[in-house]
Amino acid sequence: MKVLKFGSASIATADKLREVAAIVTKEHNNIIVLSSMSGTAESLAEISDYLYKKNQEGATEIINKLEKHYLGLVSLLFDKAEFQEKARAVVSGKFDYVRTFTKDLFTLFEERVVMAQGELISSELFYLFLLAKGVKAALIPALDFMRTDKNSAPDPVYIKDKLNILLETSKDADLYITQGYICRNAYGEIDDLRKGGSDFSAALIGAAVNASEIQIWADVFAMQNNNPQYVKNTTPIRRLNFDEAAELAYFGTKVLHPSSILPAKLADIPVCLKNTGHPEANGTVISNKTEEGVIKAVGARDNITAIKIKSGRMLLAHGFLRRVTEVFENYQTSIDMLATSEIGFSLTIDEDKNLEYIVDDLKKYGTVSVDKDMVIVSVIGDLESEHTGFAANILGSMKDIPVRMLSYGGSKYNFSFLINKKDKEKTLQILNDKLFN
């Protein structure tokens, strides 16, 4: 059994839904995980915003507009009058339900219910479309098996038990359709999986059924070895291990959220990134296998703030670093890179909303200087293999670029350094030419 997840862009139109149907019907006994259709989440969020502001007229206007869009989609998607009528009933029923929230006090609970309608609509319409094509499909509601605990973390035992019962109940089906992102919390309320959403759902489902593979279908061919927006001659990455993928996701690639594929890593299930428009393309396979001594990619993370603290009191002092890092903890601000010396240290953050207060507190411990608009560039791959000179090659290629900080050794798969934003494009191209060409 495989798990195939399709994101919003992959199911954005009637034609794209047909493409997805052609992909999923090539094999039987797989689970299909669907996001909401492109633009729907944004519209539902706008509806919720109007309801919070008690602007029922504004909310109703957006509801009517979105319902009209879906009714138009139904006309394009379904040929048979029988299924067109059923699909219209699904759409009307969902939006009539959303309209009930324009009459009462709107809370976070109601907002999550409203937001969940996007995944429910897309999955139910796709399920009806498969039935209309003669496919023996079963709709498995995520709200019946996907649950989080009191800490908002997924409950894998509950998910596995409930999902397998539901699959056994519909064991004669050729395909199983379910929703990504949405779930119930420990109190039975409709909730969501936060960051990594539908990808996280697919990984949790894959682990629960011990899938042979998890496929993440999007509108890109694969992860690239560099950013094609800035760099010429980038190439797709065919294979990554999970740690390399997590590093690459954190340092610039937005294809996957780092935590979303953790369940697949722990269950040793490969994750394959595929392109919906070009299903024949190989894509990128992410697994626990490592290609030794191979640099896979270069990534960049923008909007970095560098903070330097200098103090003679730090010399031979115990606990000085702890006291300083507690300042960032107090303001719930994560530190990305850290470099120390005898009389000072530098660090970076990517969230500066509390920067003014952080700097004010840090002045208790030394002289503080701040540089904004910095960039962390990261070289990713197996960088600790014997008989390799990766560090020398990387630093040698950077001889004409001012480097502010280095981070090497914290991870086997990551060599990072801090540069000025103005040097980003030049740096990425230099590294691409030196390391890959």
Looking at the structure, do residues 426 and 317 belong to the same domain, yes or no? yes
- 269 shares a domain with 208: yes
Residues 312 and 185 occupy one common structural domain: no
In this structure, the answer to whether residues 11 and 75 fall within a common structural domain is yes
Query: Within a domain: residue 57?
Result: yes
261, 308: one domain: no
**Cβ contacts of residue 281 below 8 Å, gap of 6+?**
221, 222, 274, 275
Position 129 pLDDT exceeds 60:
yes
Instruction: Say yes or no to pLDDT of 96 above 80.
Output: yes
Residues 33 and 153 in one domain: yes
Nearest to 224, CA basis, from 243, 245, 241, 242: 245
The percentage of the chain sitting over the pLDDT mark of 90, rounded to a whole number, equals: 64
> Looking at the predicted structure, is the pLDDT value of residue 32 above 90?
yes
Q: Is residue 428 part of a domain?
A: yes
Angle between helices 81-99 and 56-77 (to 10 degrees): 170
Q: Give the model confidence (pLDDT) of 385-433 as tens digits.
A: 654 677 777 888 888 899 988 888 777 888 889 999 999 999 999 999 8
Separation CA 392–CA 396 (nearest Å): 6
Give me the domain span that covers residue 275: 2-220+255-287
Q: Tell me, yes or no, whether 299 and 170 share the same domain.
A: no
Q: Of the candidates 245, 268, 287, which is a domain's last residue?
A: 287
Closest CA to 174 of 130, 109, 221: 130
Rounded Cα distance, 166 and 174, in Å: 14
Q: Is the pTM of this model over 0.75?
A: yes
For the chain, how big is the Rg over CA atoms in Å? 25
**Kind and range of the H or E element at 258?**
none
Report the pLDDT value the prediction gives residue 387, as an integer from 0 to 100. 47
User: How far is the C-alpha of 384 from the C-alpha of 403, rounded, in Å?
Assistant: 22
Question: With 80 as the cut, is the pLDDT of residue 258 above it?
Answer: no
The answer to whether residue 167 is domain-embedded is: yes
Torsion of CA 44, 49, 51, 57, to 10 degrees: -80
- The CATH number given to whatever domain includes residue 426 is 3.30.2130.10
The predicted-structure confidence for 158-205, as pLDDT tens digits, reads as follows 999 999 999 999 999 999 999 999 999 999 999 999 877 899 999 999
Domain count, the chain: 2
CB 95 within 8 A of CB 63: yes
* Helical residues (DSSP H) of 78-215, grouped into ranges: 81-99, 108-132, 156-169, 197-209
One domain, residues 340 and 261 = no
330: left (phi over 0), alpha (psi -120 to 50) or beta: alpha
Cα–Cα nearest to 280, from 327, 194, 217: 217
